[in-house]
């Protein structure tokens, strides 16, 4: 709590703005992939098809519009029988039953949805680490040397 009090009003506003942008981005992603985030037990086939169309409209290069709606209807029916309700349950079912070839578009949509948040966080951690190194070392190093050290810091797990 003390660290929040020490922040100036400008920093708090920047934090609020950044959090609002992140919430809006995650809401947009959830709306696009709503078909995998809502419990399929409450959807009929027409609702599933209309929700799938949102994902197809956004990611038409990745998802096949001709087969994905029917594929999702069949997968949701199968998932209902297995008691799956969350996206992680659906991905686990896809993996344990080896259904990637049977439902390829569903597999792609699930992987896309589940990877968005992870890829966002790891990228932000990298930039946070770079900012920390840059602030800490700014007074003692030239920009060229500092820039050379940034990839080592970001990819430290590979370096170790």
pLDDT score of 140? 62
Give the integer Cα–Cα distance in Å for 152 and 102.
42
Question: Does residue 160 have a pLDDT over 90?
Answer: no
Question: Which carries the bigger pLDDT value, residue 92 or residue 155?
Answer: 92
How high is the mean pLDDT of the chain?
Answer: 77
Give the integer Cα–Cα distance in Å for 156 and 145.
17
- Which of 10-24, 80-94, 99-113, 118-132 comes out lowest in average pLDDT? 118-132
Stretch 94-123: mean pLDDT: 81
Question: Does residue 2 have a pLDDT over 50?
Answer: no
Question: Which carries the bigger pLDDT value, residue 156 or residue 12?
Answer: 12
Q: What is the pLDDT of residues 118-156, one digit of tens each?
A: 555 544 555 565 566 556 555 566 667 766 766 766 666
- Which of 61-65, 113-117, 155-159 comes out lowest in average pLDDT? 155-159
pTM (global) more than 0.85: no
- Assign 18 a pLDDT band (cuts: 50, 70, 90): confident
């Amino acid at each position: 709590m003390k660290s929040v009090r020490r922040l100036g009003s400008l920093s708090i506003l920047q934090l609020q703005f950044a959090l609002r942008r992140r919430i809006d981005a995650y809401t947009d992603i959830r709306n696009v992939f709503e078909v995998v985030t809502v419990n399929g037990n409450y959807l009929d086939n027409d609702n599933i098809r209309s929700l799938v169309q949102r994902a197809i409209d956004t990611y038409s290069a990745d998802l096949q519009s001709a087969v994905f709606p029917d594929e999702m209807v069949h997968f949701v029916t199968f998932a209902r029988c297995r008691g799956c309700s969350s996206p992680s349950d659906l991905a686990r079912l896809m993996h344990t039953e080896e259904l990637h070839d049977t439902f390829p578009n569903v597999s792609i949509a699930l992987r896309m949805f589940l990877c968005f948040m992870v890829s966002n966080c790891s990228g932000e951690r990298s930039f946070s680490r770079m900012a920390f190194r840059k602030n800490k070392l700014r007074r003692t190093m030239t920009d060229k040397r500092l820039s050379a050290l940034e990839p080592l810091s970001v990819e430290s797990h590979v370096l170790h």
